[in-house]
Amino acid sequence: MGFNLMYPGDFSISGFFGFSGFGIGVSPENMMIAGDDGVGIYTYWTDFIFQAMFAATAATIVSGAVAERIKLHSFLIFSTVYVALIYPWVGSWKWGGGWLDAMGFYDFAGSTLVHSVGGWAALAGVLVLGPRLGKYAGNKIKPIMGHSMPLAAIGVFLLWLGWFGFNGGSVLSADPAAVSFVFVTTSLAAAAGIMGAIFVSWILQKKPDLSMALNGSLAGLVGITAGADVVSVMSSIVIGFIAGLLVVVSVMGIDRIKIDDPVGALSVHLVCGIWGTLAVGLFSSDHSFMTQVVGVVAYAVPCFISALAIFYILKMTLGIRVDEEEEMGGLDVGEHGMAAYADFEIKSAI
């Protein structure tokens, strides 16, 4: 139903809500979607699987923020409800031709429609769930380190590569000029994000923090996603660099107010998603800054409130947090019944 909520065709409530029915499928003669020149450029099935990937991305943003203490079944229920109902409903306001699209709001590949939508849900989940055990003792902040920085770096490079599909695919054609331009703005923004994150972390922490550098690249990617096709190459570098600065300050600031976000998902996707959306109004003469502000607020309110409601209902019914013993023992064992690092644990025990 999600695809038909996001692309309803006609809206029953003046660009605010529409639904074209359950299921997917069209007759073969209607499968080609025509471009401006009337020539078929991609199929219905192409559009469906591409948009399914975007929807899944919104859910994975939440998973990083609630990691290491949420019940698996509760998270799966949340993801299903949020991605099936909330994500496509609000997404229809822009990409489905709804009221924000009519107003002139612009988000090329989802700084707001994907990343901030996931980010607002992540914030709601973290607030309902609470911090990991031992993270905040008294007035002190205890760092809980990830187990493998090399794997984290590999993951970031996989995301960077995947972003060429994320942004490049949003051109919705194989136009070599448009796709290659988006590739360049996307990659340079990521590189500039690394530079910005290294710069500010080196000043604040006296060392060039690798984890901040990795999040800096993702911050640059999120930041450029809204305007990758409408800002200049030099502007993409500025947008990415500022995103890299923002993500470091945001990670440290969110930690200081005792909101536990293990991977910096709120900073990368929510904060930099907002920045990237607003940057379109600052760096593109064809789009209004105030319209971009309206879009940011329009997505913030329903996404945060609905995610908060879903998480709270789950908390009051099934529960959303594992018990203390399971959290300390690890969710690999408690939620999945197997050790993620069995050899290591056996040798440690010996």
Average pLDDT over residues 179-194: 97
Average pLDDT over residues 199-226: 95
pLDDT at 14 over 80: yes
Average pLDDT over residues 78-100: 96
Contact 279, 226 (CB under 8 A): yes
Report residue 40's pLDDT band, with 50, 70 and 90 as the boundaries: low
pLDDT at 102 over 60: yes
pLDDT at 4 over 70: yes
Contact 284, 231 (CB under 8 A): yes
pLDDT at 30 over 80: no
Q: Could you report the per-residue pLDDT of 249-264, keeping only the tens digit for each? A: 999 999 999 999 999 9
Q: 167: buried, middle or exposed (CB in 10 Å: 19+, 13-18, 0-12)?
A: buried
Report residue 46's pLDDT band, with 50, 70 and 90 as the boundaries: confident
Percent of all residues in the chain with a pLDDT value above 70, rounded to a whole number: 94
- pLDDT, position 138: 79
Instruction: Give me the domain span that covers residue 296.
Output: 2-20+39-319
Q: Which of 70-74, 137-141, 306-310 has the lowest mean pLDDT?
A: 137-141
Considering the entire predicted model, what is its pTM? 0.92
Locus of tokens 């990758």: 228
Q: What is the CATH number of the domain that holds 16?
A: 1.10.3430.10
Number of domains in the chain: 1
Report residue 39's pLDDT band, with 50, 70 and 90 as the boundaries: low
- pLDDT, position 82: 97
Report residue 133's pLDDT band, with 50, 70 and 90 as the boundaries: very high
pLDDT at 21 over 60: yes
pLDDT at 349 over 50: no
- pLDDT, position 38: 54
326 inside domain = no
171 inside domain = yes
32 inside domain = no
Report residue 350's pLDDT band, with 50, 70 and 90 as the boundaries: very low
189 inside domain = yes
Average pLDDT over residues 100-107: 96
- pLDDT, position 343: 74
- pLDDT, position 108: 96
Q: Which residue has the higher pLDDT, 128 or 40?
A: 128
Label each residue of the chain as H, E or C.
CHHHHHCCCCCCECCCECCCCCCCCCCHHHCEEECCCCCEEEEHHHHHHHHHHHHHHHHHHHHHHCCCCECHHHHHHHHHHHHHHHHHHHHCCCCCCCHHHHHCCCCCCCHHHHHHHHHHHHHHHHHHHCCCCCCEECCEECCCCCCCHHHHHHHHHHHHHHHHHHHHHHHCCCCHHHHHHHHHHHHHHHHHHHHHHHHHHHHHHCCCCHHHHHHHHHHHHHHHHCCCCCCCHHHHHHHHHHHHHHHHHHHHHHHHCCCCCCCCHHHHHHHHHHHHHHHHHHHCCCCCHHHHHHHHHHHHHHHHHHHHHHHHHHHHHCCCECCHHHHHHCHHHHHHCCCCCHHHHHHHHC
- pLDDT, position 172: 87
User: What's the mean per-residue pLDDT of the chain?
Assistant: 92
Q: Could you report the per-residue pLDDT of 254-292, keeping only the tens digit for each? A: 999 999 999 999 999 999 999 999 999 999 999 999 999
340 inside domain = no
**Residue among 290, 201, 289, 184 nearest 240 (CA):** 184
Cα separation, 269 vs 247, in Å, equals 9
pLDDT at 344 over 80: no
26 inside domain = no
162 inside domain = yes
193 inside domain = yes
pLDDT at 323 over 50: yes
